[in-house]
Chain A
Amino acid sequence: MKPRHKRFAFIGLGLVVLGIATVLVLNAFQSNLVFFFTPTQVVNGEVPEGRSFRIGGMVEDGSLVRENDGLTVRFIVTDTAKRVPVTYKGILPDLFKEGKGAVAQGKLIGDGTFVASEVLAKHDENYMPPEAAAALAKAKASGAQQSKSLVVPEGRKDSL
């Protein structure tokens, strides 16, 4: 092989390796994307089944309930239009509070409850996480008439 050919082979091999690496990276990327949904989207069934996603909004006032084990908590995340019940087992972050914004990551189970594997509240006291703020703004924009029916009828929730 002439040096020139050798060099081409070398470059070609490098490109192949780089190509494989790119495919692997993009594949890992694709399968680890976590999408964000608002409570309205969750209630309307727009969320992927069996896949982990994020939900954000306000933690409804008075909705936080702690179970007897002291670790499992239930609360409701709302964008003022729709409400989604969330359960989480573990210690909540310091900034988690009723009436404040929160983002949770996890999966939706059969009865429409969101089982969170992680609750994020990494913002400061006066600051809403952008996802949560966006969810509230979106619900507001999508019609004032909806916001009157703040409470989802029980039957509706079960039918989800």
Chain B
Amino acid sequence: MIPEIGHFALILALCVAVVQGILPIYGAAVGNSALMAVAKPAARGQFLLVLTAFGCLAYAFAEKDFSVLYVAATSNSQLPLHYRLAAIWGAHEGSLLLWTLILTIWMFAVTLFSAHLPESTRSRILGVMGLVSIGFLLFMLTVSNPFERLIPAAAEGRDLNPLLQDPGMVIHPPMLYMGYVGFSVAFAFAIAALLGGNLDAAWARWSRPWTTVAWCFLTVGIAMGSGWAYYELGWGGWWFWDPVENASFMPWLAGTALVHSLAVTDKRGGFKVWTVLLAIMAFSLSLLGTFLVRSGVLTSVHAFATDPKRGMFILAFLAIVIGGSLALYAWRAPRVGLGGSFAAMSREGMLLANNVLLVAAMGSVLLGTLYPLFLDALDLGKISVGPPYFDSVFVPLMAPAVFLMGVGPLAQWKKASLPDLAKRLKWAFGVSVITAIVLPFVMGTWTPLLSLGLLLAIWIATTSVVTLRERLTHVAGNSLGERLASVPRSYWGMLVAHCGIAVFIVGVTMVKGFETEKDVRMNVGETATIGDYLFRFDGAQDVVGPNYTAARGSFSVSRDGRETTVLYPEKRRYTAQNQVMTEAAIDPGLLRDLYVSLGEPLDDGAWSVRLYHKPFVDWIWGGCFIMALGGVLAISDRRYRIAWRRQEPAVPAATRAARRKVA
């Protein structure tokens, strides 16, 4: 009964979405405020209906209702409750329901925080989101129904893929989807602006915080996925340029470009057309990502079933959304106007260069990801594009972007002087170059890439210091503390996010430069050395978990005769599907990770073992979290806060202009 209620709620949600997608947009076009007023209650109603459906599915999982096909396929009576609930998004149907739920959550958020928007803009935004929602609800109801019954009911479920039975996997998909779907708000803002024909600085200011929130979620989501791959797949890599990873990385690149381009539109009224295009691009790539990952086109833990009907549906949906919005763009963009002019050497110019580089990087990832699929679809042979391609393309594209990242915040808007910039940055430049050259020698090896990575990271750090120092001389306040406090939060946000990149680059550079890896056969009592650490294998024992049995190895790790830690990697056999899983043991640290995973049992209690010493690897994810923290700081800026916004009309125009100049 409960699953039927969920199914019914989805049908009702579709009806509401149709109303929400048509009436408010039409109302905005003809100026009928009664029709426009439909948007808000419709969006909220749709949210409640989808939430109901989601709750029903959660209930079916919690109650182990194996008469629901999806529940039977992805859970098991022995699966602990938290993983049973996480199994809701453990496969195709449920993750689409999660996608839709998150879309309605964003809609609901728009209804809450849009009191300041003109009625017509708000109804267009909600209308566009309603249209997107129609696509997803229709998809679920026609080809991918999570509430489909299995009659007669299965006695036991097939169990969740053991790879997904992990705390990281519980939060990674919702985070990622918050990011993906969050770009739908920026997209809806862009489409609303195209429909309405007015795109001004106020528009950019409204859509900026939404975009930044989505970007933060996406950043954290990708970082968690990468961390999960690192400790769960048992081979110590953190990024494989797997199509699935690329699918989430492409919207991130476009979204990062969008965040920067919105800054120009907000502050200077420039880049308008480009910003709209980026908003369309970011959301289209999010849809493409969902399609790539969930359609079964790709082979990985993410692709669960190959069903051509689903593929066709999503392909058609993609074509309508992307094609439709680009057609609208081509038709209406000329009306939007280009915005103010600027010199090549100016903050706008550098942000434009950064945007071009980010989009070029996105394009190269897109090429490497889609080309093999394209060839395969045309039956021209099977190929794959390896990580060397992405590595060799990415470094040259990103290095200049990172260099500009140091200069950009110091350059004046409209027109900057190169000699002046050079003068202000000469110390930062000197310090970075010298450290980058000398430091690798001190650490023992010198390679060009090592130096380049360190150069870029130190460059960001030193230029951030210069930027902050100059900023402090321009703000009001007597003591240093007062002046630090009067630097706006959004400015801190930018600095913090940029420093996050620096931390990330340090992590990548150090891991690539100094990691050591060893595959060895180890008898009981035998030792192996990696880095400065001595690993002694103390044998393996059998242990029993809730839904698996495992062999647990024991490794004592010591350095210079002193014991560092004991690591317990496992080789698990999940009973439901008789599937073997490697559970690596990691001793994390600020400066290095020690990583052990078991290979296979050999004779006499010996095992083949994989040992890693990974310097600075945690900086990779730390950097991502710092970037996201920067985003959070930026949106907490008071210029975005509603209360302040309400007061704004009371602030004299001159003060406002002065503030804007400062910001």
Chain A interface (Cβ within 8 Å of chain B)? 10, 14, 18, 21, 24-25, 28-29, 32-36, 54, 66, 69-71, 89-95, 122-125, 127, 129-131, 134
Contacts and interface: CB of A to CB of B under 8 A. Distances in A.
B625 to A, nearest CB: 27
A14 B381 CA distance: 36
B367 A29 contact: yes
A32 B388 contact: yes
Contact of A32 (B161, B392, B578, B608): B392
B389 A32 contact: yes
B360 A21 contact: yes
Contact of A29 (B299, B368, B520): B368
Contacts of B367: 25, 29
Contacts of A66: 602
Contacts of A127: 299
Nearest to B296: A130
Contacts of A69: 521
B299 A130 contact: yes
Interface residues of B, number: 41
Given A24-B396, A32-B388, A34-B383, 5 more contacts: A32-B389, A36-B381, A94-B582, A123-B300, A125-B579
Given A25-B364, A32-B389, A34-B384, A123 B299 contact: yes
A134 B608 CA distance: 32
B384 A10 contact: no
B600 interface: yes
Interface in B562-607: 577-582, 597, 599-600, 602, 606
A10 B344 contact: yes
Contact of B384 (A24, A36, A92, A94): A36
Contact of B385 (A33, A70, A123): A33
Given A25-B367, A29-B368, A69-B521, A18 B360 contact: yes
A70 B606 CA distance: 9
A59 B60 CA distance: 39
Given A28-B392, A70-B602, A122 B299 contact: yes
Contacts of A36: 381-384
A16 to B, nearest CB: 13
A122 B232 CA distance: 13
A93 B161 CA distance: 16
A21 B599 contact: no
Nearest to B234: A94
A34 B610 CA distance: 27
Contacts of A71: 519-521, 599, 608
B386 interface: yes
20 contacts: A18-B356, A18-B360, A25-B360, A25-B393, A28-B389, A28-B393, A29-B371, A32-B388, A32-B392, A35-B381, A36-B384, A70-B608, A71-B520, A91-B597, A91-B610, A94-B582, A124-B301, A125-B578, A127-B299, A134-B382
B397 interface: yes
A34 B385 contact: yes
A24 to B, nearest CB: 7
Interface string B389-408: 10011001100000000000
Interface in B198-217: none
Chief secondary structure at chain B's binding surface = mixed
A92 B600 contact: yes
Contacts of B599: 71, 91-92
Contacts of B383: 33-36
A122 B344 CA distance: 48
B165 to A, nearest CB: 13
Contact of A35 (B382, B389, B600): B382
A21 B396 CA distance: 9
A124 B580 CA distance: 10
Nearest to B163: A124
Nearest to A22: B360
Contacts of B371: 29
Interface in B596-641: 597, 599-600, 602, 606, 608, 610
A94 B299 contact: no
A94 to B, nearest CB: 5
Contact of A122 (B301, B581, B582): B301
A25 B397 CA distance: 10
B58 to A, nearest CB: 24
Nearest to A3: B341
Given A24-B396, A32-B389, A70-B602, A122 B300 contact: yes
Interface string B340-364: 0000100000000000100010001
Contacts of B301: 122, 124
B477 to A, nearest CB: 40
A14 B608 CA distance: 54
A21 B362 CA distance: 13
Nearest to A97: B580
Contacts of B344: 10
B385 A29 contact: yes
Given A10-B344, A18-B360, A94-B234, A131 B382 contact: yes
A91 B299 CA distance: 21
A112 B578 CA distance: 35
B400 to A, nearest CB: 10
A157 to B, nearest CB: 25
Nearest to B382: A36
Contacts of A91: 235, 519, 597, 599-600, 608, 610
